[in-house]
Amino acid sequence: MAIELSYVLITPYTILKSRTGGVIARLLSRTDLELVGAQMLTPTKELSEKYAAILRKSVSSKAADLLSDYVINNFTPGEDGSKRRVLMLLFKGDNACSKLYSIAGRLSPESRAAGEMRITGETVRDTYADLVFDRDGSLRYFEPAVLLPPDQEFAMEKLKLFAGFTETQPNIVDVRYEDKSDIERTLVIIKPDNWRYPSSKPGNIIDMFSRTGLRIIATKIYQMTVAEALEFYGPVQGVLREKLAPKIGDKAKTLLETEFKIALPENSSSRLSEIIGVPFADDQFSQIVEFMSGIRPDKCPKNKLNDPGLVKTMVLVYEGKKAVKKIRDVLGPTDPTKAPSGTIRREYGQDVMVNTAHASDSPENAQREMGIIKIQENNLNKIIRKFLAEKGYK
């Protein structure tokens, strides 16, 4: 067994048709590999031509022509300057390349041209790709759905190419709109409970968000620091104190009166709220921070507050008309037990904390939250560079 780093590129058409979540669900649920990086790219003409050239020399002749021509025609920006979105996913683990390749499925131009349609629906390409020939054997239509290397040797030169490109690529990509009225950006975080074991849940959640018709303009795999979690959820602490402390004070008063069979003064509830209620609310807040970072803030040394957390999340930025409301409508309310059927939290949430995903509640908060988690930064490039260095590939 060999630890490998491989990539999957989700093509512009697959993204445009909102098939991104379905592809990710397949890749995550059918392998033990770790998704370590994700970034939305908008390839330049230069990158597209270089990638196409590598494909042309690294795969079988018939497939090479198809794939390289496809990249030139579909990755390169349009004549009007419009950019094509390509989602790059990085996976790491034992024999990552061959495992991903088997899940993605092969492209077999020769067999399909001869009429041998062995499509079972098992692979990503069985479901989402198209390779259509006319009766005379000429190609009518080709859409591969995903692009990826068959083995580590073929992956290395391509990884180096994308490492160079992503060094200067912004993490938030630009999308053109004919009508910019009501265009908003909102932040979504697919929370740590979805990453505890290989599962289709993250992909299914993205698939459910796709019903909004919004566009994903940024994403990254992220480990929130304790400091970031404290700042991100800071406003929640005051709300918890306001809502929980009085209830705990009243409950404590009732319990004490029942246990000791005495009548306490009326103002004892407020005193007990301060003594018991506030610490209880603060503990709930600490549990939220621990859930999102993997570390309780009171157990984290000060010199470790800004270290990457111990749990993983996936961050996405959605953009479009009334994005905040559309995303929150699909997500559902904080308490999954009160969420309507068909919402994400109703389907996948457990309680008010383990409720599967976060979504900004206003465009202003979206900006604030994106700033806290440094949305313009992405470690995908560093992961590739580190792996290339470890393998002695310059």
Single out the catalytic residue among 42, 214, 358, 360. 358
Q: Which amino acid is at 130?
A: D
Distance CA 222, CA 295 (A): 15
Q: Are 156 and 388 in contact (CB under 8 A)?
A: yes
CB neighbours of residue 297 within 10 Å: 17
- Domains in the chain (CATH in brackets) are 3-171+378-390 (3.30.70.141), 228-304 (no CATH)
pLDDT of residue 304: 97
Phi, psi of 18 (to 5 degrees): 55, 40
3-state secondary structure (DSSP) of residue 179: coil
Per-residue pLDDT of the chain (394 residues; tens, 9 = 90+): 689 999 999 999 999 999 999 999 999 999 999 999 999 999 999 999 999 999 988 766 677 888 999 999 999 999 888 999 999 999 999 999 999 999 999 876 444 444 455 555 689 999 999 887 778 777 788 999 999 999 999 999 999 999 999 999 999 999 888 888 999 999 999 999 999 999 999 999 999 999 999 999 999 999 999 999 999 999 999 999 999 999 999 999 999 999 999 999 989 999 999 999 999 999 999 999 999 999 999 999 999 999 999 999 999 999 999 999 999 999 999 999 999 999 999 999 999 889 999 999 999 999 999 999 999 999 999 999 999 999 988 7
Query: What is the per-residue DSSP string for 93-150?
Result: EETHHHHHHHHH----HHHHHTT-----S-SHHHHH-EEEE-TTS-EEEEE-SEE--S
3-state secondary structure (DSSP) of residue 307: coil
Whether 358 is a known active-site residue: answer yes
Q: Are 113 and 137 in contact (CB under 8 A)?
A: yes
